Structure 1
């Protein structure tokens, strides 16, 4: 018997609303009771909760939503709801209850997040085991461009996308498009995924008209260049719409403050807790191993392409090509101690001083030396975009395997792609995730670290 897909999907979000409101009201009146007028207080906190949630998109969770995005939104919900409840308490109680209300909000968010993630993971298991809550989809395009998404649908059944058929466009494009749309209509397919690079403007409009007239969900797969350029946002100057090509989240004032505070706190902890005793030891070992200074200082390009002095523990013998040639595997310039500190990334630790000085961030696109930056700027499309934010000690690209030596064009292209994705999808929790993955990779051993 075929499972009816999406039968109860429309009830998931209202169910979440009800569960969350029950949680915060039960906690407010039975676990942390401190109000006589319960009805008024219930209405106020319920209204505030829903208003903040709608504003933040707290319930905008889809099958493709990442857990890190859910956690990031929950953190914002916690902060704003806490501020509202604290402000409300100024009119109701003394300072004693001010402390209690923070604990109430914290416990509320914890329970809400527990149920939210439980539903999220339950649905993923439900889709795999019973085939429910799924969407039937077709792919349209050349195999080269649609194959990554085809692989994703095939290998990730927990997302609930049931790939029914693939329509390739290598030959007889017009006929294949018509075959696809006819199939979608006849077999009641839910969603169509098309490769933009394989379609003309008129063909795209033709498919859009079909999808609109037949109530089908239509989504487009951009190519690599389009991935790097389609993150635009609309702004209005009076009533005049203006499109901003890049939506750099770190440019927002509040995000700048959050990012800088995080950088200062984290780098201070590393410098005081680790560098204070490790630096003298490293200085002695480096000096005993080879002649030269303890630190290696190199000009690199940072925010807005400005040059700054990037600090590292010296890992090479003194040579005239240190600022021209990147280190490669089995590089004869690397010292015995250098091999170890590069493999364990200890050589990068002095860059936490760069973070304190404001030249770098803990997480961001890795800075390149000036000579290499100029070369890549000419060869790699969108390479300069990564200079819209401060460079980092580690970054998303590094956790995805694109660190160290650039052996092929694909290495630098993917590095840029992940850097731009990070810039346009930044959150403080994403920074934490990248730091944790970086530490894990160091402990595990990264084959590209040399």
Structure 2
């Protein structure tokens, strides 16, 4: 599954990416692959650091990280926090959930019970919220609070329900959209009570929520943008028609009072929009298209791993070279390479294929003129090791010499695999781990 950005620390140029567990609830558990999350930091030679803890989701809240831990199925079992080093995690005790007033628009028995939906964490001006729709739990952590301030218990989500939740100064705003058509909007107090309920259908069904300032919330609907005034009594104002392409769910970020960034929660959608909400005026939507030309990638293997490339940059059609040799004679093939990644601790060189496997040729290898000693000859290939470092930007030449033994033809593969430094490995005690390969092929004829 594709990794996604979970948390960002813009002041220090760090981001945390990973699968978490919230996107694949049915596949997560002790018997499945761990939900690794990695920290990336800007800089050429900065390691990609895996977190040594399994989390369902993660957010950055100022100078701390807040994550939700899982218990075999993605669920709101534990909420933890750490400083930005993510080295030591402490538990935030969950208070006893408060049973919230039921939402009258939906009957609890309607629809089939949904599967466990995982936990989604999000950060807002009035706190971090953890939503476990499959269990009906909503937990809120106020800014700077050392504890989970309150937990509400609603009926668990039914099949085809989308939950949207943002903390407010006095409670939490909850919108539930069922079957992509009907929505209920409720503002709960911390004790689980509400004074009013708004019901929407079809074109006004809710697809996203955000707090604009202390007293105003932005509602992103299927075909409208609307503002909700929370006090003295909840009231919907300024219903502005908009046109979204196949809207399903929107992620939101309040950049500052009166400015909200929104983006569709879809890997296929690359646009982003800003909603400007001036006091007393209807919301304005400003759409931004994805740039036609992309900048340098935030992270590639070359930013944190050794990466070899051929210097001659031959087209792919020329990656298969011909090499002929007579029985009792020798012929050589040479090609230069360059390390465009980080420091390599050494390199594996493997040469193998049918001509070697059937005994048509004997193979010797030189690296920058120095002959290497084979370390293994198994599986129809011969393997060599170069145990000296290869600095970033350094070049070298590999020379493969074939000594004709008996007539035959076939394809030989030449593979160079640089070793990553141990600090980039999940297990620092291991050596010789490789994360990239560079290959070329020789059409070999022995006459």
Larger relative strand fraction: 2
Larger Rg: 2
TM-score, reference length from structure 2? 0.26
Q: Higher relative contact order by CA 8 Å / sep ≥ 6: 1 or 2?
A: 1
TM-score, reference length from structure 1? 0.26
Larger relative helix fraction: 1
